[in-house]
Amino acid sequence: MGEKQIHFVERVLQVTFVLLGLGIGYQISPYVLRYIDYPLKAVSKMSIIGAITVFGGFIMYILSPSIIRTILRVVSKVESDLQKLPAVDIAIGLLGLILGLVVANLLAVSLTPIPIIGEYFPLILNIVFGYLGVGLALKKKEEIVLLFGVIPKLKDKLSLKGVKKEATYGEISYPKILDTSVIIDGRIFDIYKSGFIEGAILIPRFVLNELQYVADSTDPMKRSRGRRGLDILAKLQKEGKDKVKIVEEDVEGKSVDDKLIALAKKLNAEIITTDYNLNKVASIEGVKVLNINELANALKPLVLPGEELVVQIIREGKESGQGVGYLDDGTMVVVEEGKHHIGRVAELQVTSVLQTAAGRMIFGKIKKIVK
């Protein structure tokens, strides 16, 4: 709500509390008169009732600002928490609450005749069964959604209209948040253009600011990478049109990575990155991550020990006598006794394959020198 709306609500609530105080004062005034032994005329009684009524209104006028602040704080917190919940969760929670209250009131009818405690049972039952209804409904939401056939109906509707929606629960795809590393990397554009990424592409404002900072760097290398990232974003926006969006919403976090994870949780989104550390931390935090490097590694041709490869040896390896070459897809090939054949093309026999977080490494020995 805006400031004007909040101010209006505060005034309405204050008037309401003052009226409530007047009503309470008027209601309790007869009980006060019972304890006055001095005989009172009708005018005096009316004066005392009026004074007590006004006093009740005055007390509520004094207390209302702190009560209103507390109410608005609680309402704001509840509203913020509800915004983070998927619409399906809210609907199922309300359904559970309604069923819980129905059961509570049915039981209350049979329990109210009980002396003394019977008057308080309806309130207790409504609180207990309302809470149980919401809790059980949310725990069983998958079965409830399937029971009502929401998923099949939604799929039919989407297939008929050709609409793609960002998903929460039971929908087709989740929005994707891009981090700085994957934008600068550039491969995201080709992947998106190929149609393998569904849903909205979100670029947080704080990521765009970091990209602009890199593009304005005095370091030529960083400046070039930053400008490349901005070019990739421009291409993505042109290709995706209204599906590529800048997210202005900011979240708390010490670093850009912290903010990315917090925003992904808030928007129920996935993060696309090439950053290994962000990948690990986000996974620990329960945020799904799509790592472009992992995708590239999965698409590399599988090489098995005993197969033969042809590779050019271009430099020395870390261990004594080793040479290093690369396949066309960038896979590193470590060649035994290849140090003395740098610059030449050799036919190798694969001896082993090592899969690391950085990618796949192939080890082989020279079968013959091709040229």
Q: Where are the domains of the chain?
A: 3-84, 88-164, 176-297, 302-369
b (16+ CB within 10 A) / e for 322-342: bbbbebeeebbbbbbebbebe
48-62, 85-99, 121-135 — most confident range: 48-62
168 has pLDDT over 60: no
203 exposed, middle or buried (CB, 10 Å; 0-12, 13-18, 19+)?
A: buried
358 has pLDDT over 80: no
The residues that bridge with 247 in the sheet, in sequence order, are 204
**332-336 and 345-356 strand pairing:** unpaired
Across the chain, what does the average pLDDT equal? Answer: 79
Q: State pLDDT tens for residues 91-131.
A: 777 888 888 888 878 877 766 555 555 566 677 777 777 77
What's residue 271's pLDDT? Answer: 92
Task: Using the structure block, give the residue that is written with the tokens 């004066």.
Answer: 47
Task: Determine contact, residues 52/32, Cβ cutoff 8 Å.
Answer: yes
Q: What are phi and psi of 178, to 5 degrees?
A: -95, 135
CATH: 2.40.50.140, 3.40.30.10, 3.40.50.150, 3.40.50.1580. Which one for 302-369? Answer: 2.40.50.140
Provide CB contacts within 8 A for 327, sequence distance 6+.
309, 311, 333, 362
Q: Between 79 and 149, whose confidence is greater?
A: 79
| Tokens matching residue 173 | 């795809």
Q: Between 356 and 222, whose confidence is greater?
A: 222
Q: 272 pLDDT band (50/70/90 cuts)?
A: very high
**Alpha-carbon torsion 159, 160, 165, 167, what sign?**
negative
What's residue 161's pLDDT? Answer: 42
243 has pLDDT over 50: yes
What's residue 119's pLDDT? Answer: 61
233 has pLDDT over 70: yes
176-297 domain in CATH 1.10.10.10? no
Q: 36 pLDDT band (50/70/90 cuts)?
A: low
Please state whether the predicted TM-score (pTM) of the whole model is above 0.85: no
